[in-house]
Amino acid sequence: MSLTLIACVCLLATGQSGAWGFSYGDQAERNEACLACHGDAREMAAGSFINRKQFTQTTHSIIGCQACHGAVMPSHPDGGKVPRAECRDCHLEVNEEYAAGLHAAKTGCSGCHNPHVVESPKEISGQEINQICSACHNALEMTAKHGEWLPQSELHLRMLPCITCHTGSKEYFISMYIVKSKDGSRFGKQEVAGYDELKRLAAGREIVSLIDTNRDNYVSLEELRIFNRTQKSLRLHGMMTPGTVSHKFEILDNRRNCTFCHTSGSAAMQTSFIAMPEENGTFKRVAVEKGAVLDALYGTPDFYMMGSTKSTRLNGIGLAIICGGLIMPVGHGFLRFLTRKNRKGKEHQS
Partner 1 sequence: MSEKKRIYLQPVPVRIWHWINAFGIITLILTGAQIRFPESVTIFPSYKSAIEVHNVAGLTVAISFSFWFFYYKMVRNTLDKLYIPDEEDLKHGLLRQLLYYCFWYFLGKPSPYHATPDHKFNPMQKSAYLAVMFVLMPLVGLTGILLLNVTPLRVLILMWGGIKIIVALHFLLACSLLAFLCTHVYLATLGKTPLAYIKPMVTGWEDVEEHEEKEPEAPATRPAYRPVRHYPEYAQMQQQEQRNNG
Torsion sign (Cα): 186, 191, 192, 196: negative
Do 171 and 242 meet the contact criterion of CB atoms below 8 Å apart? yes
Q: Minimum distance between the CB of residue 148 and partner 1, rounded to whole angstroms?
A: 12
d(CA 212, CA 287): 10
Q: Count of CB atoms within 10 A of residue 176's CB? A: 28
Residue 262 within binding range of partner 1, rule CB under 8 A: yes
Residue 257 within binding range of partner 1, rule CB under 8 A: yes
DSSP structure string for 120-132: -GGGS-HHHHHHH
Q: Minimum distance between the CB of residue 309 and partner 1, rounded to whole angstroms?
A: 8
Residue 82 within binding range of partner 1, rule CB under 8 A: no
**For partner 1, which residue of 113, 122, 285, 310 counts as binding (CB under 8 A)?**
310
Do 22 and 33 meet the contact criterion of CB atoms below 8 Å apart? yes
d(CA 350, CA 348): 5
Note if the bond before 83 is cis, omega within 30 degrees. Answer: no
Q: Minimum distance between the CB of residue 312 and partner 1, rounded to whole angstroms?
A: 11
Residue 110 within binding range of partner 1, rule CB under 8 A: no
Residue 349 within binding range of partner 1, rule CB under 8 A: yes
Which residues, listed in sequence order, are joined to residue 173 by a DSSP beta bridge? 241
**For partner 1, which residue of 187, 204, 230, 254 counts as binding (CB under 8 A)?**
187
Give the count of residues interacting with partner 1 (CB under 8 A).
55
Residue 291 within binding range of partner 1, rule CB under 8 A: no
Residue 230 within binding range of partner 1, rule CB under 8 A: no
Residue 233 within binding range of partner 1, rule CB under 8 A: no
Q: Minimum distance between the CB of residue 122 and partner 1, rounded to whole angstroms?
A: 25
Residue 328 within binding range of partner 1, rule CB under 8 A: yes
Whole-angstrom CA distances from 237 to 7, 150, 240, 265, 347 are 44, 21, 11, 21, 62
Contacting positions for partner 1 (CB under 8 A) = 151-152, 154-155, 158, 186-187, 228, 235, 257-259, 262-265, 296-304, 306-307, 309-311, 314-315, 317-319, 321-326, 328-329, 332-333, 335-336, 339, 342-343, 345-347, 349-350
